[in-house]
Amino acid sequence: MGPGYTAGVSYDESEMNLAGDLLAGDVRALARAISLAEDRDPQATALVAELQAHTGRAHLVGVTGSPGGGKSTLVDALVRVIRERGRTVGVIAVDPSSPFTGGAVLGDRVRMSRHTLDKGVFIRSMGARGHLGGLAAATREAIHLLDASGRDVIVVETVGVGQSELEISSLCDTVVLVLMPESGDAVQSIKAGILEIADVYVVNKADLSGAEKARRLIQDAVAMAPKKPWQPPILLASAVKEEGIGPVWEAIESHRAFLRQSGGLEERRRERLKQEVIALVAESARDDARRAVEGDTPVGRLLRDNRNGRLNPYSLAADVRAMRPARGAEN
């Protein structure tokens, strides 16, 4: 990343070795860096920019689906399988509905606690601290940080409903959709168009009745869609009983192999890069705009002094755009 982006941001004395420690795989440095990202500290952004050359190795796996479908439980079971295959893993559980609570959504931490002694597993929950855009940016940075720290696999768990800024298909190489055995969940997903983004379907809670029926519903819906070079498998699993988890991981790996062979991996990454550039520009524009309307600027003063509320937002926006504040400048 060019110096233009990081201008005005320097590391604190205490952050001097963060990049080096993180690259060496130090877990505390990783945790610290992700906290900075969550705080939307400019140092995290500068760090991620600096570490870009060390990213791009990890397999990014998104796990999405309705709340309560068993995503966290499935991820927990997958982590065990991934470790059995000798690979390291980082997990980010994104829950926009939960306010930030100091590093973890409690349920996730408790459930995944059996991995706490394993240095090959890093688990972090992230909640919405400010606006969704901040969470989306923090999630992207956390993925890059885990990648740079040398994790082989990065799993991102998100709730799959209408959070365009957290669009999992634009964050990950492989998207796993977790469905419940009630046919209502499958029907909802078909209607919402969520089925199309999945590379692997998992009908979870197959220990309950209705799983086979849900599988057929999805199969029929997939059969109606235009044929694609990758036929997404539809698997039954029970995350709590840890049944059918091995095949889920194998399907995820097959998809990755398919992407590599077909050139799809490059294509997804190119698309991801595009989306990320748009997001970065949009985020800095939003920060600049906020500084302009809240700071000691002509527009800011006009907004504060205005008594009758009759100002034109369009002309004010044009004024803000014309200001072009210097990158990294304080207000």
Ligand X SMILES: Nc1nc2c(ncn2[C@@H]2O[C@H](COP(=O)(O)OP(=O)(O)O)[C@@H](O)[C@H]2O)c(=O)[nH]1
How far apart are CB 93 and ligand X at their closest, in Å? 8
In the sheet that holds 200-203, the strands lie side by side as 121-128, 89-99, 153-159, 59-65, 174-179, 200-203, 234-236
> Strand 121-128 relative to strand 153-159: parallel, antiparallel, unpaired?
unpaired
Q: Which does 170 bind (CB under 5 to 8 A by kind): Mg ion, ligand X, none?
A: none
CA 43, 48, 50, 54 dihedral sign is positive
Single out the residue of 265, 262, 261, 249 nearest to residue 56, CA to CA: 265
Give min distance, CB of 200 to ligand X, in A: 16
Contact 288, 321 (CB under 8 A): no
DSSP 200: E
The tokens of 243 are what?
């049944």
Site size toward Mg ion, by CB under 5 A: 2
Q: Of 254-273, which residues contact ligand X (CB under 6 A)?
A: none
For ligand X, the closer of residues 27 and 208 by Cβ is: 208
Site for ligand X, residues 185 to 204, rule: CB under 6 A: 204
The item of ligand X, Mg ion, none sharing an interface with residue 70, based on CB under 5 to 8 Å by kind, is ligand X
Q: Is residue 125 a contact point for Mg ion (CB under 5 A)? A: no
* Interacting residues of 52 by C-beta distance below 8 A, sequence separation 6+: 1, 144
Task: Tell me if 158 contacts ligand X by CB under 6 A.
Answer: no
CB of 248 to ligand X, least distance (A): 12
What residue 240 binds from Mg ion, ligand X, none (CB within 5 to 8 A, per partner kind)?
A: ligand X
Task: Scan residues 72-101 and list those touching ligand X (CB under 6 A).
Answer: 72-73
Among 43, 45, 64, 72, binds Mg ion (CB under 5 A): 72
Q: How far is the CB of 40 from Mg ion (least distance, A)?
A: 23
Spatial distance between the Cα atoms of 213 and 145, rounded to a whole number of angstroms = 41
- With CB under 6 A as the contact rule, the residue among 144, 205, 255, 256 that binds ligand X is 205
- The span from the CA of 130 to the CA of 212, in Å, is 41
242 binds ligand X (CB under 6 A): no
Binding site for ligand X (CB under 6 A): 67-73, 204-205, 207-208, 238-240
Binding site for Mg ion (CB under 5 A): 71-72
